[in-house]
Amino acid sequence: MSKLTHLDDKGEARMVDVTSKAVTEREARAEATIRMAPETLRMIIDGKHPKGDVLATARIAGIMAAKKTHDLIPLCHALNLTSVKVELSPGADGASVHILTRCKLSGQTGVEMEALTAASVAALTLYDMCKAVDKAMVVDGVRLLEKKGGRSGHWRAPEQ
């Protein structure tokens, strides 16, 4: 296992210096799931939620979160993202929403944290908008699916 890059030789937190790293195309995909009562999902799908289109709001929240990751995660670099996609789809179980995110850029550091933040915040936004009708919702399975680019190359999560 490699050493932790956000710690210096004394073990103190630091922001990684990416000055000398090559600019490469980088991409990351992440996912999250929010589990809910079937009635809550039906309300969302049928467009009968009192707060309006909660999926559209969660999509926008995820995109905004990716762009603000450096404000939320202390040692992340501010990145010039060139693409952020957030897809939300009802789960086949009839009681969940699956969130899939993708972030891209040409830069000196990866976009894994941006993709993970987008998925997390989209799920939390769904929770916030639906908590009045379903307090028992569970955000689950937030994980990195894939990353491309940079020195470490291409990585894909094992199937679950």
Instruction: Give the separation between CA 52 and CA 119, rounded to whole angstroms.
Output: 20
**Is 9 known to be catalytic?**
no
77 is an annotated ligand-binding site residue = yes
* 72 is an annotated ligand-binding site residue: no
Choose, from 8, 17, 46, 128, the residue flagged as catalytic.
128
Query: Annotation-wise, does 113 bind a ligand?
Result: yes
Alpha-carbon distances, residue 43 vs 35, 77, 124 (angstroms) = 14, 39, 18
Measured distance CA(57)–CA(156) in Å, rounded: 29
Q: State both tokens at 122.
A: 């989209």
Has 103 been labeled as part of a binding site? no
Q: Strand 96-107 relative to strand 155-156: parallel, antiparallel, unpaired?
A: unpaired
Q: Is 114 one of the annotated binding-site residues?
A: yes
Strands (E), the chain: 24-35, 83-90, 96-107, 138-148, 155-156
Burial class, 147, CB count within 10 angstroms (exposed 0-12 / middle 13-18 / buried 19+): buried
Catalytic residues: 128
Q: List, as residue ranges, the binding site for substrate.
A: 75-77, 113-114
Q: List, as residue ranges, the binding site.
A: 75-77, 113-114
